[in-house]
Amino acid sequence: MSLLLTLFLLVLATGCKSQSLTVSLDPQIEKTAYVPVHLVGVSEANRKQWETMDMAVYFKNVDKKDEALNAAVQRTVNLDSKTPSVTISGDDPIWTQWKDSGASYIFVLANWPRNQMLQSKPGSADPRRRILFLDRSAYDADKIDVVVREHGLDIPTRMTRSLP
């Protein structure tokens, strides 16, 4: 087999990973929390806007977002005691929608914790926002996990590279 064909097959196999994405409530808050989690496909061009967005303002005005924010492809999962976990399978059409929209990242946004004194911070410094690569080859596992914990969002799945 030629080197070129081998490289092509390797790239094809890497880009077609079929990981799932699971968003779940930590068992410590599962019985009392209701948490809508927004999974938003974000392009490199819009990344800064989403990284610096004030999370309190975002959730306060979630139905009145500006046009650029409304154009983003997103999925909302609602977690509570009856539905403590939601999995988006690797073959779910949302992956293709995100890719076709030009997204490079999945922004995970949750209005949790609901501490009125919590100051908005940029990027993942805000416990209500986490940033994932859309490229599933950036992960070392068959499943990408997002956990809503008492003090905010956690991504226990190890990434094979760092966000720029």
> What is the per-residue pLDDT across 40-49, written as a single tens digit (0 to 9) for each?
999 999 999 9
How far apart, in whole angstroms, are the C-alpha atoms of residue 102 and residue 151?
32
Q: How high is the pLDDT of residue 115? A: 76
Separation of first and last alpha carbons in the chain: 36
Q: How high is the pLDDT of residue 71? A: 62
Q: How high is the pLDDT of residue 65? A: 56
Lookup: tokens for 12: 């094809």
Ordered by start, the domain boundaries in the chain are 18-154
Q: How high is the pLDDT of residue 69? A: 60
Q: Give residue-wise pLDDT tens across range 6-27.
A: 333 333 334 445 689 999 999 9
Residues with pLDDT less than 50, the chain: 1-16
Report pTM: 0.84
Beta carbons within 10 angstroms of residue 107's beta carbon: 23
How many residues comprise the chain? Answer: 164
- Structurally, at CATH architecture level, domain 18-154 sits in Sandwich (2.60)
- Backbone φ and ψ of 41, nearest 5°: -75, 125
Alpha-carbon torsion, ordered 8, 10, 7, 101, to 10 deg: 50
